[in-house]
């Protein structure tokens, strides 16, 4: 449908670390208002109902949550509105069956921002991965004012 995207959240973490249970599928998408409307229609046709929409800017909503009408699947879409979100989509790497998945670095930053208990566990695993581009992570951590959290997690991993 011409919508740029990256798989984020728990399922993306599962690509990089030992899989864990996660109840929803999270995507960051890059789409204007018209594309979002087309995407909503396509998801309704595919058996999903819009459960929640947040944000009403002229550029469209910031967040959309869809629930399958035939099962427990939840699909959550974050609409890329920041430079970081657009960068996540640009850097996403095709994985199995062509699914575009956020890089490990691009998962670390939002986990630092959310900073929930589950995020802390994910961060310990992600920060222990080899070949992390720490200058990239540090740049975004500074921009989001999360350098202290990053330093704390990195010292725990060491």
Residue linked to tokens 């202290």: 148
Considering the entire predicted model, what is its pTM?
A: 0.91
Distance CA 12, CA 19 (A): 9
* pLDDT tier at 141, thresholds 50, 70, 90: very high
Mean pLDDT of 130-158: 96
pLDDT one-digit tens code per residue, 12-23: 999 999 998 888
CB 47 within 8 A of CB 66: no
Closest residue by Cα to residue 120 from 74, 157, 158: 157
3-state helix, strand, coil in the chain (%, to 5): 50, 25, 30
Per CATH, domain 1-102 is 3.40.50.620: no
Q: What single-letter DSSP state applies at residue 96? A: G
pLDDT one-digit tens code per residue, 56-113: 788 788 999 999 999 999 999 999 999 999 999 999 999 877 899 999 999 999 999 9
In total, the chain counts a number of residues equal to: 158
Domain ranges, ordered by start, for the chain: 1-102, 103-158
Q: pLDDT value at position 96?
A: 72
């Amino acid at each position: 449908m011409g919508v740029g995207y990256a798989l984020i959240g728990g399922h993306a973490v599962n690509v990089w670390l030992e899989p864990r249970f996660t109840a929803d599928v999270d995507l960051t998408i890059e789409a204007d208002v018209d594309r979002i409307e087309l995407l909503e229609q396509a998801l309704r046709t595919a058996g999903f109902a819009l459960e929640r929409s947040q944000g009403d800017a002229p550029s469209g909503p910031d967040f959309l949550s869809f629930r399958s009408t035939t099962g427990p699947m939840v699909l959550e879409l974050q609409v890329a509105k920041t430079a970081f979100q657009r960068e996540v989509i640009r850097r996403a790497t095709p994985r199995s069956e062509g699914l575009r998945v956020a890089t490990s670095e691009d998962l670390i930053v939002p986990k630092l921002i959310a900073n929930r208990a589950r995020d802390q566990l994910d961060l310990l695993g992600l920060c222990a991965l080899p070949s992390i581009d720490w200058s990239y992570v540090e740049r975004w951590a500074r921009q989001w004012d999360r350098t202290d959290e990053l330093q704390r997690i990195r010292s725990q991993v060491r």
